[in-house]
Chain A
Amino acid sequence: MSIGLHKSDFANPVIRWVDSRLPIFTMMQKEYGTFPTPRNFNYFWNFGALAMINLLIMIATGIFLAMNYTAHTGMAFDSVERIMRDVNYGWLLRYAHANGASMFFIVVYIHIFRGLYYGSYKAPRELLWMLGVVIFLLMMATAFMGYVLPWGQMSFWGATVITNLFSAFPLVGETIVTWLWGGFSVDNPTLNRFYSLHYLMPFVIFGVVFLHVAALHITGSNNPLGIDPKGPQDTLPFHPYYTAKDSVGIVAYLAVFALIVFFFPNALGHPDNYIPANPLVTPPHIVPEWYFLPFYAILRAVPDKLGGVLMMFGSIAILFVLPWLDTSPVRSMRFRPLARPFFAVWVVSFFVLLWCGGKPAEEPYVTISRVAAAYYFLYFLVILPLLGRLERPLPLPESISLPVLRGGGPLPAGAMSKPMEKA
């Protein structure tokens, strides 16, 4: 590339002046305007955009909550109650933030399941997928620390239990836990650092999301057929086709979000968190937030302390190597008659774990969690590696547009054509 001004195609002289010196308009046009996108997306492809919107909502509501929140063990609970009662629309900000975290996980879980079903983690999108897993881990850490901030009973005992996970590591365990706490129990230093990190991490997430999207724009999107677009007849410019489709998704998402915030704001929370933290009394039944329950169930399914912790972390770490565990070259499970039912059972095992995680650690839930946890790992470690060899995939369509156009001959560029119904 030569040094000098960028040759800008924009007609507006102001935009052109900026664009010649800093081609952000050209970039936006390329990445979000004309960006060639497979024409056959279904609504599962809305969830990335929804996750982005959700992150922005979390950051906006969080910054405004932070204006009234006090990170001190003696004042945190009351400051949250003050947000609820005295601050103008404070109840809305807090309910939007607390339920926004739940919405975020719903959206991201669907986004991940989409990737698992349509094989979006396979070459060439391995790194894109791994960056997604990093985002998921960061989200979990952020949500965990956020839940500590209101300093209710669940905040305190959740923080105690989760930080104590690290005590399972031999030799260094206790040292790590003391270091995490900044003391000898979860106390003011812990609350302060969690607040600092809770504020920081969403911006780290934002950075990784940027990399995630940058990687996406190199490989291009996967699609429900899992085959590569073969030319302009298989794609549409991102704008207006998918900006419009994403807008439809955003409206539906906001409607669900509003329904929860305005009518069931505490349905997903735990009433014990409206009791101020008491370091001397543990509530009879402590549970993490619902989005952690599958992993919490795996933790409890293992009768050994260290083993449980390793399995729990392993259940997420395994996603990093998934691109190499799944040996089938076929991406979309539409064409994988065996993988499809096995995947369906995996989804069921995930929800069974979620359900067991919320139950007390007693029979029959322990046995059920063990069976479900075993399948969870079996799917990744045995079934997917074997299926690649054993399964006979259905014939793949020749191209994305072909089945739709019934061999309708050469086509003009996607931009010229009329918006299609969903392929």
Chain B
Amino acid sequence: MADSLAPTAPQHGAPQDGETRRDFLQLVAGSFAAVGVGAMVWPFINSMNPAKDVLAVSTTDVDLKPIAAGAAITVVWRGKPVFVRSRTEAEIKAARDVPMSELKDPQADQDRVKKDQWLVLIGICTHLGCIPLGQKATDERGPFGGYFCPCHGSAYDTSGRVRQGPAPLNLPVPTYAFTSDTQIRIG
């Protein structure tokens, strides 16, 4: 051991063509450490994703019977407001008569509803997340008779499509299905 300490003793992994055994070992050890740390970090990150109980309450049933024609209710689905509106004949007609070329985010009204009368929308403005007005009879509904967002003035029509203002997209339609003639399940 004593002589191996002498300054003249060759270093382990002395440079050969610029690459040494030590470089290799360092690379391998470093990569393993990186993979190990990554594997340890993932459970922490994933623990912040929705938990099983949160996912389990991710459907909402809505009874449509009490909603009179022209009226609307707001239900909560996954913590978000969902607008359920019973549209009048005039509102349906207004939505269907608009030429596609006038729409910022073109989509036919037929593709946005399952039954003509029932409009189901996620009630969150696609601009920056405010809740548009228009659910209550006394609400300002904006120039297109659907919804009006008070935050920065986006206006939606009776199909929930954006017609004016900074919002880029139509109000989204959540996944839902009719479980009976007067009942829907959202989610």
Interface residues of A (CB under 8 A from B): 60, 64, 67-68, 82, 85-90, 92-93, 247, 404-406, 408, 411-412, 416-418, 420-421
Contacts and interface: CB of A to CB of B under 8 A. Distances in A.
Nearest to A416: B7
Contacts of B16: none
B47 interface: yes
Given A89-B46, A92-B43, A418-B11, A406 B51 contact: no
Contacts of A418: 4-5, 9, 11-12
B35 interface: no
A67 B51 contact: no
Nearest to B29: A247
B52 interface: yes
Interface in B51-88: 51-54
B23 to A, nearest CB: 13
B2 interface: yes
22 contacts: A67-B47, A67-B48, A85-B52, A86-B53, A87-B51, A87-B52, A88-B51, A89-B42, A89-B47, A90-B47, A90-B51, A93-B44, A247-B29, A404-B1, A404-B2, A406-B2, A408-B2, A411-B5, A412-B7, A418-B4, A418-B12, A420-B5
A406 B1 CA distance: 10
Nearest to B7: A412
B101 interface: no
Interface in B135-173: none
B180 interface: no
Contacts of B46: 88-89
B43 A89 contact: yes
Contact of A68 (B1, B2, B42, B51): B51
A82 B48 CA distance: 13
B2 A405 contact: yes
Given A64-B44, A93-B44, A86 B1 contact: no
Given A82-B53, A418-B11, A88 B5 contact: no
B106 to A, nearest CB: 39
Contact of B52 (A86, A411, A417, A421): A86
B129 to A, nearest CB: 23
B8 to A, nearest CB: 10
A418 B46 CA distance: 44
A47 to B, nearest CB: 20
A88 B46 CA distance: 6
Given A82-B53, A418-B11, A418-B12, A87 B5 contact: no
Interface string B3-28: 01101010110000000000000000
Given A408-B2, A418-B12, A93 B43 contact: yes
Contacts of A406: 2
Contacts of A67: 47-48
B47 A408 contact: no
Contacts of B12: 418
A64 B47 contact: yes
Q: Name, among B4, B12, B44, the residue most crowded by chain A CB atoms within 10 Å (CB to CB).
A: B44
B44 A87 contact: no
A408 B49 contact: no
Nearest to A413: B7
Given A60-B44, A64-B44, A93-B44, A86 B5 contact: no
A88 B50 CA distance: 8
B44 A408 contact: no
Nearest to B50: A88
Contacts of B9: 418
Nearest to A65: B47
B43 to A, nearest CB: 4
Nearest to A250: B33
A93 B51 CA distance: 14
Contacts of A405: 1-2, 5
Nearest to A417: B5
Contacts of A412: 7
A412 B11 CA distance: 14
A86 B51 contact: yes
A245 B158 CA distance: 71
A420 to B, nearest CB: 7
Given A412-B7, A416-B7, A88 B2 contact: no
A89 B48 CA distance: 10
Q: Which of B5, B12, B51 has the most CB of A within 10 A?
A: B5
Interface in B120-137: none
Nearest to B54: A86
Nearest to A421: B1
B47 A420 contact: no
Contacts of A404: 1-2
A29 to B, nearest CB: 18
Contacts of A85: 52
A88 B53 CA distance: 10
A408 B3 CA distance: 8
Nearest to B12: A418
A416 B2 CA distance: 14
Ranked nearest first, the 7 interchain pairs of A and B with the lowest CB-CB distance are A89-B43, A86-B52, A408-B2, A86-B51, A86-B53, A88-B46, A87-B51
B27 to A, nearest CB: 14
Given A86-B53, A404-B2, 13 more contacts: A60-B44, A64-B48, A82-B51, A86-B51, A87-B47, A88-B47, A93-B43, A405-B2, A406-B2, A416-B7, A417-B5, A418-B5, A420-B1
Nearest to A408: B2
